[in-house]
């Protein structure tokens, strides 16, 4: 399966590297295109056999599946460039939440898939959110999920839940890392523990907790109950966090959805502008 990637920024390059390292794709199956060709060439130089296309149009001619890995407001321009070169048997994969399946299905004649990757896919872990357009057949879904299961766990979601699902699966690593860094900083400031020591402990704790919540079979609630003892240190700290954090997570969901609605309105305008 010849696979093209339009855009080799942060997430585009993560996907390419993950697919190659997992052996889901061989380098000679991958074609790259990027507005700044030198960036695509730099990535290609890391994996002998990987090809760089001089344009998005040329990439489409050589690809069975095309991942569009650009910023939301750049999608319409890419679609305008490639739409005449696509045919019904090809598949276009969007990786951004604000570009809806209908935006692409209205302009492109091929099969459309929307997926939301995560930085965790770089370590061949975490989830990959999947949504499918109306032209995608069951065998297409199976083939696609066989591919992405090499870099993460495919999770099918309704498009209306894209944003909140992305908060948990894709934004979540940054939110969790922020919490850990604040905790590490406080530990260093208040106790004098060496920063590298605190960081190792926090990182290993996070890894172990993730295993407990997946292969260990615990739910987050069960894990809290298992660790804390009534009247103990953990229970007292949990009570403090319950009191102090208040509705912070409701605010988190609200702000990500507000930003999503802003982005969606801008994307809607671009896709309607020239129709």
Task: Sort 22 into a burial class: Cβ within 10 Å, 0-12 / 13-18 / 19+.
Answer: middle
When pLDDT is cut at 50, 70 and 90, the band that residue 202 belongs to is very high
> What's the whole-model pTM score?
0.92
Q: Was 7 annotated as part of a binding site?
A: yes
Q: Give the 3-state secondary structure of residue 162.
A: helix
- What DSSP assignment string belongs to 89-101? T-EEEE--TTS-H
For residue 269, the model assigns a pLDDT of 94
Which phi and psi (to 5°) does residue 199 adopt?
-65, -45
C-alpha closest to that of 148 among 172, 171, 174, 125? 125
For residue range 184-197, what is the model confidence (pLDDT) as tens digits? 999 999 999 999 99
pLDDT at 273 over 80: no
Q: Was 13 annotated as part of a binding site?
A: no
Q: State how beta strands 153-156 and 127-132 pair.
A: parallel
For residue range 156-194, what is the model confidence (pLDDT) as tens digits? 999 999 999 999 999 999 999 999 999 999 999 999 999
**Mean pLDDT (whole number) for 104-109:** 96
> b/e map of 54-76 (b: 16 or more CB within 10 Å)?
eebeebbeebebbbbbbebebbb
Distance in angstroms (rounded) separating the CA atoms of residues 259 and 104: 21
For residue 274, the model assigns a pLDDT of 54
Which phi and psi (to 5°) does residue 111 adopt?
-80, 140
- What DSSP assignment string belongs to 111-122? EEEEEE--GGGG
Q: Was 9 annotated as part of a binding site?
A: yes
Q: Was 4 annotated as part of a binding site?
A: no
For residue 160, CA distances in Å to 98, 251, 261 come to 11, 19, 12
Q: Was 6 annotated as part of a binding site?
A: yes
Distance in angstroms (rounded) separating the CA atoms of residues 25 and 265: 36
Q: Was 11 annotated as part of a binding site?
A: yes
For residue range 219-272, what is the model confidence (pLDDT) as tens digits? 999 999 999 999 999 999 999 999 999 899 999 999 999 999 999 999 999 998
Sorted by where each starts, the structural domains of the chain and their CATH numbers stand as 3-156 (3.40.50.720), 165-253 (1.10.3730.10)
Q: State how beta strands 111-116 and 91-94 pair.
A: parallel
User: Residue 185: which residues within 8 A CB-CB, separation 6 or more?
Assistant: none
Hunting for tokens 């690809």 — which residue is that? 63
């Amino acid at each position: 399966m010849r696979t093209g990637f339009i855009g080799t920024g942060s997430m585009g390059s993560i996907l390419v590297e993950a697919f190659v390292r997992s052996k889901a794709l061989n380098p000679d199956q991958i074609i790259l295109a990027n507005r700044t060709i030198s960036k695509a060439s730099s990535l290609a130089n890391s994996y002998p056999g990987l090809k760089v296309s001089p344009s998005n149009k040329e990439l489409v001619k050589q690809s069975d599946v095309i991942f569009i890995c650009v910023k939301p407001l750049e999608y319409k321009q890419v679609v305008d460039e490639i739409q005449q070169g696509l045919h019904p048997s090809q598949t276009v994969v969007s990786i951004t939440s604000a570009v809806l399946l209908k935006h692409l299905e209205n302009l492109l004649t091929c099969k459309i898939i929307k997926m939301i990757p995560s930085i965790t896919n770089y370590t061949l872990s975490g989830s990959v959110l999947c949504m499918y357009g109306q032209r995608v057949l069951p065998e297409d879904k199976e083939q696609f999920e066989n591919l992405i299961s090499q870099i993460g766990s495919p999770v099918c979601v309704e498009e209306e839940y894209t944003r909140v699902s992305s908060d948990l699966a894709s934004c979540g690593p940054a939110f969790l890392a922020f919490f850990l860094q604040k905790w590490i900083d406080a530990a260093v400031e208040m106790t004098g523990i060496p920063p590298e020591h605190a960081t190792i402990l926090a990182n290993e704790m996070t890894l172990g907790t993730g295993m407990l919540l997946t292969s260990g079979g615990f739910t987050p609630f069960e894990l809290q109950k298992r660790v804390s003892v009534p009247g103990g240190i953990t229970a007292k700290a949990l009570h403090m966090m319950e009191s102090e954090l208040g509705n912070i997570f409701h605010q988190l969901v609200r702000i990500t959805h507000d930003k999503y609605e802003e982005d969606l309105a801008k994307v809607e305008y671009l896709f309607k502008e020239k129709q």
